[in-house]
Amino acid sequence: MTICALATAPGGALGIIRISGPQALEILSHVFSKDLTDAQPNTIHYGHIKDGEEMIDEVMVSIFQAPHSYTGEDSAEISCHGSRYIINRVLELLIQHGCRMAGPGEFTQRAYLNGKMDLSQAEAVADLIASSNKATHDIALNQLRGHFSSELSRLREQLLKLTSLLELELDFSDHEDLEFADRSELLEISKTIDNHILRLATSFETGQTLKNGIPVAIIGKTNVGKSTLLNRLLKDDRAIVSDIHGTTRDTIEDTIDIKGITFRFIDTAGIRQTTDEIEQIGIERTYAAIEKARIVLWLLDAEPSEKDIQEIQERCHDKSLIIIQNKIDKSESSLFSLHSPLSSHLLKISAKYGENIDALETAIYEAAKIPELTENDVIVTSARQYQSLISAHNNLTRVVEGLETNLSGDLISEDLNLVLDDLSDITGQGRIVPNEVLGNIFKNFCVGK
C-alpha cells in the first residue's frame, strides 16, 4: 500500500509531503501537471498540484526509485507552500487517488523491513530528531552510521567462533584417545565478549544522563542566594527570591546547555534547624537531591563551621563538589579561606549581579568530566537495547560458569545460542521481530518519518 504524510512541522513557509509505496509515482502523476511514471529517478520537477482543472499550488517534486530511496520503495517528496489549507488539500487528493495516511514512523519502519537499516539504526533516527544538544546529536549520528551495529556483528562473529569450537569438542568427544579442546581458551574468549557487552550496557547510564541532563544540586543554608543563582544560570525568573529565610520549600528543577552538554539544575530548600513541618520535608528533599546529583554546588555567604563542613563532606563524598562564596559584591562580605579536605579552592561570585558566572559554568562543565565523544564511540540510548544487553550478559555468565564447572558442551551451546538471540534482538537482523515490539519502537516516532 502506498502511504503519504506531511514530514515537516506545520506553520513553516514550506511543507514537505512524503509518498512511498509501489504506486507512489502513478498516484503523484494523477495530481501533478506532468506524468512522472517514466521520469528519471533522483530528479526534481517543477509543476502544479491540481484537482481536475483547479490548481492547488506551485510545487517542486523529488522522485526516487526503489531500492534507492529512504524506504527502499518508489517514493516522492512534494515541497509545497506551508499553508494548512494547501497541505490538507494535497493530502486529500493523494488519498482520493489511492494513498493511505502513514502511521507514526511508518516510513522508517518500511526502511527497516526493506533492509535499508537495522532496528538500532531506526531507533537512532528517532533519537536524532529528538536530539537537543551536541552530545545527544553525536550519539544518535554514530548509531545511525551503524557503529553500534558493526560492533554487535563483531561480537556475533566471536560468539559463533566459540560455538564452533564447542561443536568441535562434541564431535571428537567419542574418540577417547583425543584430548578435549583446551577449555581455558574458550573461557577467555567468553570473558572478553562479556566484558565488551557489559561496557555497552553501562554506556546506557551515560547516554541517559546526557539525554536528561547531568543533575547538579544547588545547596546551602537559607538565604545564601541559591534561588538567585538558579535564576541567574537559567537566565529566567524561575524560583522565588526573597530575603526571608526558608523561602524555597520544594526542589525546583530546570535544564540549560553549557558547551553543548545539558545540565539539570536543582534548587533546594536551605538547610537549617527548623520546627516547621513543611520546611523539614523540604530539607529532606534537599538531602535526596544531593544523593541524585552528580555535581553539588555548595553555596556560602559566610565561613562555614567545622560541623557544617563535616556534614557536607559525608553527604557529598562521592560527588563532584564545587564550593562557592556568594554575595562578594557586599562590602561587609568578608573574604574567607576554606581549610578543609573538601577543597582548598573557593569560587567567588555574585549571583545577584552576575559576577564570575562564566567561571562557575566552566567549573561545572569540567566537574562533569564528559569524555570527548569520538566518531567510533558507541553509547546505548534505548531501554530496549539495554535490556537485550543485560539479558546477553546474564546468559553469558551461565556460559562462563558452565565452562568453569566442566559442564557438557551441548548445554553450554544452548546458553550461547541465547546470547546470540539477545544480540540479534537489538538489530532485528536474522530474527523475526514480533509486531508488538516493532509497534513499540515506532509508536514514538512522528508521522511523516
Ligand X SMILES: Nc1nc2c(ncn2[C@@H]2O[C@H](COP(=O)(O)OP(=O)(O)OP(=O)(O)O)[C@@H](O)[C@H]2O)c(=O)[nH]1
* Residue ranges binding ligand X (CB under 6 A): 222-228, 241-243, 245-248, 269-270, 326-327, 329-330, 350-352
Q: How far apart are CA 296 and CA 313, in angstroms?
A: 11
Closest to ligand X by CB, 140 vs 252, is 252
Q: Report the partner that residue 352 touches, choosing among Mg ion, ligand X, none (CB closer than 5 to 8 A by kind).
A: ligand X
Closest to ligand X by CB, 5 vs 230, is 230
- Smallest distance from ligand X to CB 287, Å: 14
Amino acid at 306: E
Burial of 383 (0-12, 13-18, 19+ CB in 10 A): exposed
- Smallest distance from ligand X to CB 268, Å: 8
Under the binding rule (CB under 5 A), the answer on residue 231 touching Mg ion is no
Closest to ligand X by CB, 19 vs 349, is 349
Parallel/antiparallel/unpaired status of strands 75-81 and 54-64? antiparallel
Q: Which span (10-18, 110-118, 123-131, 225-233) binds Mg ion, by CB under 5 A?
A: 225-233
Under the binding rule (CB under 5 A), the answer on residue 227 touching Mg ion is yes
Q: Which three cell numbers stand for residue 15?
A: 511543507
SS (H, E, C) 24-52: HHHHHHHHECCCCCCCCCCEEEEEEEEEC
- 300: Cα within 13 Å, side-chain hemisphere: 22
Q: Report the partner that residue 134 touches, choosing among Mg ion, ligand X, none (CB closer than 5 to 8 A by kind).
A: none
Q: Report the partner that residue 242 touches, choosing among ligand X, Mg ion, none (CB closer than 5 to 8 A by kind).
A: ligand X
Closest to ligand X by CB, 270 vs 428, is 270
Q: How far apart are CA 237 and CA 349, in angstroms?
A: 19
Nearest to 434 by CA among 421, 446, 445: 421
Q: Report the partner that residue 152 touches, choosing among ligand X, Mg ion, none (CB closer than 5 to 8 A by kind).
A: none
- 284: Cα within 13 Å, side-chain hemisphere: 6
Residues with Cβ within 8 Å of residue 224, at least 6 apart in sequence: 270, 299, 300, 301, 326, 327
- Smallest distance from Mg ion to CB 312, Å: 18
Q: Report the partner that residue 443 touches, choosing among ligand X, Mg ion, none (CB closer than 5 to 8 A by kind).
A: none
- Smallest distance from Mg ion to CB 218, Å: 9
Which one of residues 108, 203, 206, 248 is an interface residue with Mg ion (CB under 5 A)? 248
Closest to Mg ion by CB, 29 vs 326, is 326
Q: Are 350 and 359 in contact (CB under 8 A)?
A: no
Q: Which span (79-87, 246-254, 341-349, 389-397) binds Mg ion, by CB under 5 A?
A: 246-254
Under the binding rule (CB under 5 A), the answer on residue 109 touching Mg ion is no
Closest to ligand X by CB, 25 vs 269, is 269
Strand order in the sheet with 54-64: 43-51, 54-64, 75-81, 14-20, 3-6, 100-101
Closest to ligand X by CB, 245 vs 443, is 245
Q: How far apart are CA 11 and CA 19, in angstroms?
A: 20
Nearest residue (beta carbon) to ligand X: 270
Q: How far apart are CA 436 and CA 332, in angstroms?
A: 66
- Smallest distance from ligand X to CB 241, Å: 4
Q: How far apart are CA 34 and CA 45, in angstroms?
A: 9
Closest to ligand X by CB, 210 vs 297, is 297
- Smallest distance from ligand X to CB 219, Å: 9
Size of the site for Mg ion (CB under 5 A): 4
Residues with Cβ within 8 Å of residue 144, at least 6 apart in sequence: 117, 121, 124, 125, 128
Amino acid at 396: L
Under the binding rule (CB under 5 A), the answer on residue 320 touching Mg ion is no
Q: Report the partner that residue 416 touches, choosing among Mg ion, ligand X, none (CB closer than 5 to 8 A by kind).
A: none
Under the binding rule (CB under 5 A), the answer on residue 131 touching Mg ion is no
Closest to ligand X by CB, 208 vs 222, is 222
- Smallest distance from ligand X to CB 230, Å: 8
* Binding region for Mg ion (CB under 5 A): 226-227, 247-248
